[in-house]
Amino acid sequence: MGFVGELLYSLLEGLSGQNTVIAGVAAVVAVAAIVTPFAQRFLSRRKRVLYRVQSDSKIGLDVDLDGDQPLYAEPDLAHMSNMFRRLSSVVVRIRNTGGDVSVGDLGERVEFTFGGRVIWNARISDPSHRTDDEDRRKLAEGLEFFSTDPASPPAATTLPEVRRTLPQRLVAAFRATPAPVGPAAGADPSPAAPPVWHGIRLKPSLALRAKERFKLIVVLSEPAGARPGPVTKGVAGPEGHRRIRDERTVRRALWPLGTAAFGVLLAGLWIAAVVIFPVDRETTATQVDCAQGELRIVGSTAFAPIISRIADDYAAACGADITVAAGGSNEGVREVVRLDQGRRGSVAALSDGRSTVATEELTARPVAVIVYTMIVNDAAGVDRLTTEQVRDIFAGRYRDWNQLRAGPSLPIRIVGRGGESGSRRTFEQTLLDGASQGELTSDSCETADRAGARVVRCERSSEEEVADEVAGTPGAIGYVSLASADQLTERRLPVTVLDLDGLRPDASSAAAGYPFWAIEYLYTNGVPPNGGVLGSLIGYLTTKTAYADLVEAGYTPCVTTDGQPYLLCQDR
């Protein structure tokens, strides 16, 4: 049993109704922990602005000629191709989290630079509180563009001036095309080089209204004279500030959130211990009788890690030999169906949701609520979708992320599970209204390599493979269990867990209408024989040790600590 699981259960026992003093103190501490950060934030009226780099990518406007006409055969086109492929774009979201504030009130300089790249153009997108042209113009005039060139920096300027001088940059870029040998008679002298800006700062006079947010989209190019090669990346924003922060850092480290979370956890444990299921030390201390022998657990890859941990705990205590072989829910249930009479107690299958291949001879026992989530690669630049949008993505009606959010083009790449997966069945039943996730069109997940395919759809055989593919493929979207998604967050991989229909994926949201969840079932062929490892392990799944392991892993057990069925497990 893991340390966190033991700790949770110890707290549950300590806060039980058998010790009213501890319970009362816990209630007071819980309320204080929840109230303190909000009082600190709202009563003291602290001002804070958050930013988040949602996208930093190559635009991808390459120009290639046919193989029988090499690029160097067209000098003008060769130059144009090089110019276009050196362009990139950055999307930065800026969000005011408090009341009305001006940048000057923050007392800190707010500016962004782009790793030496120069700014070609910029625009403001999706302003939440600017409803007319005059309002938008005020927001645009609150931006100041500056140069980091110490030799001859141009004067700082505003967004309208940057947009006005764009033709100069275009002319200068095209004038750089190699000219014919010898001066042309009457040719105009080359115009002066256009001004070059490397960064953007928010003016102290810029006023942001309560909860206002907007996106800053910047088109960039490699500096003149830069060596050929990959487009550089990297956005340097404000660092070391207290009132202007990177939103991703704030979400991980902001102490009021941690304090409130601790308060909510403590309050939940107190309510659980005192009101819902008070712990009885005498009844929960009884452990299941051990059995020795061999057992094989097959099926779900999503639930395999936690059942392996529980099986290891049982095997260590009882000396049994238990192996877990995850190959997909359907394949696991089929294996149990095929068992002969003598082996019915030696194999069990885990299925994400009710199996469609189970026969009448099989018995299904609910183990836990398993919540799933949609995940996307961070480059997609989204953090929420509706069920309808998910359906349209998998149906191929959306094929680029710029159809769903403002910003640069980025192809949508779908990463799904194979036909044996119970996760796929749950996904199709709950989010696609029974429709298929679509035909396989790609092996690499990068391009559609089937003839005539317009949508990139690949499949992976396990949750771990889906998670790694989404993390490593720009524009990728897939689905995994919430437990797997939490591991991605802990590893700080470039993956965003999506809100769905405005709800966060968790067990409480499932009870409130979050659609993407299922019950994890343990299938056996008939009733396990008495004295066998399978029957003993089924009993062990209802103990406090297994309960704590499931809770620690992010699942809601289907049997509470007092032996009562969890209501959500009776719905599916």
Q: What are the CA-CA distances from residue 419 to residues 328, 329, 424, 427 (Å)?
A: 9, 10, 7, 12
CB 424 within 8 A of CB 329: no
Residue 520 CB burial class (10 angstroms; 0-12, 13-18, ≥19): buried
- Residue 32: the pLDDT is 60
- Residue 285: the pLDDT is 35
Same domain, 503 and 538: no
Per-residue model confidence as pLDDT tens digits over 522-567: 999 998 988 899 999 999 999 989 999 998 888 889 998 888 888 8
Interval 64-80 mean pLDDT: 56
Continuous segment of H or E residues that includes residue 546: helix 544-552
- Residue 287: the pLDDT is 59
Residue 139 has pLDDT above 60, yes or no: yes
Same domain, 529 and 469: no
- Residue 343: the pLDDT is 87
Residue 519 has pLDDT above 90, yes or no: yes
Of 12-21, 66-75, 251-260, the least confident: 12-21
- Residue 7: the pLDDT is 53
Per-residue model confidence as pLDDT tens digits over 179-207: 444 444 444 555 667 888 899 999 988 88
Same domain, 168 and 312: no
**Residue type for position 470:** V
Same domain, 168 and 237: yes
Residue 24 has pLDDT above 60, yes or no: no
Q: Is 537 helix (H, G, I), strand (E, B) or coil?
A: helix
- Residue 447: the pLDDT is 92
Per-residue model confidence as pLDDT tens digits over 471-504: 999 999 999 999 888 888 888 889 999 999 999 9
Same domain, 126 and 209: yes
Q: In 416-494, where does DSSP find H-type helix?
A: 422-430, 463-472, 482-490
- Residue 103: the pLDDT is 86
Residue listed under structure tokens 């249930």: 333
Name the range with the highest mean pLDDT among 14-28, 118-132, 271-285, 332-346.
332-346
Phi and psi dihedrals of 112, rounded to 5? Answer: -130, 135
Q: Which two tokens stand for residue 8?
A: 């949770």
Question: Dihedral sign, CA of 133, 136, 142, 147?
Answer: negative
Q: Whole-angstrom distance between the N-terminal and C-terminal Cα of the chain?
A: 29
Residue 359 has pLDDT above 60, yes or no: yes
Going by C-alpha positions, the residue among 125, 135, 110 that lies closest to residue 47 is 110
261 part of a folded domain: no
Same domain, 452 and 492: yes
Interval 314-322 mean pLDDT: 93
Residue 276 has pLDDT above 60, yes or no: no
Same domain, 444 and 553: no
- Residue 467: the pLDDT is 93
Of 64-68, 341-345, 388-392, 433-437, the least confident: 64-68
Q: In 113-190, where does DSSP find H-type helix?
A: 133-141, 159-164, 166-175
44 part of a folded domain: no
Q: Is the model's pTM score more than 0.85? A: no
Q: CA torsion angle for 364, 367, 371, 375 (degrees, to 10)?
A: -90
Cα–Cα distance for residue pair 123/219, rounded to 1 Å:
9
Cα–Cα distance for residue pair 298/522, rounded to 1 Å:
10
- Residue 365: the pLDDT is 94
- Residue 268: the pLDDT is 64
Same domain, 170 and 131: yes
- Residue 151: the pLDDT is 77
Residue 459 has pLDDT above 50, yes or no: yes
Task: Provide the pLDDT confidence category of residue 286 given band limits of 50, 70 and 90.
Answer: very low
Same domain, 357 and 391: no
Query: Looking at residue 410, what DSSP letter applies?
Result: -
- Residue 241: the pLDDT is 75
CA atoms lying within 13 Å on the CB side of residue 544 = 21
471 part of a folded domain: yes
Q: At what angle do helices 75-85 and 166-175 cross, to 10 degrees?
A: 140
Q: What is the mean pLDDT of the chain?
A: 81
Q: Is 189 helix (H, G, I), strand (E, B) or coil?
A: coil
- Residue 337: the pLDDT is 94
Name the range with the highest mean pLDDT among 190-204, 267-281, 439-453.
439-453
226 part of a folded domain: yes
Same domain, 337 and 405: no
- Residue 17: the pLDDT is 43
Same domain, 198 and 66: yes
Per-residue model confidence as pLDDT tens digits over 330-341: 999 999 999 988
158 part of a folded domain: yes
- Residue 554: the pLDDT is 84
Residue 273 has pLDDT above 60, yes or no: no
135 part of a folded domain: yes
Q: What percent of the chain has pLDDT over 70?
A: 77
CA atoms lying within 13 Å on the CB side of residue 270 = 19
CB 111 within 8 A of CB 51: no
- Residue 511: the pLDDT is 81
32 part of a folded domain: no
280 part of a folded domain: no
Phi and psi dihedrals of 461, rounded to 5? Answer: -90, -10
Q: Which two tokens stand for residue 522?
A: 């343990």
Same domain, 124 and 211: yes
Question: What range does the domain containing 530 cover?
Answer: 291-369+519-570
Number of folded domains that form the chain: 3
Of residues 69 and 409, more confidently modeled: 409
> What is the Cα 508 distance to its own chain's centre?
19
| Domain CATH number, residue 333 | 3.40.190.10
- Residue 175: the pLDDT is 67
- Residue 33: the pLDDT is 58
- Residue 428: the pLDDT is 95
Residue 31 has pLDDT above 70, yes or no: no
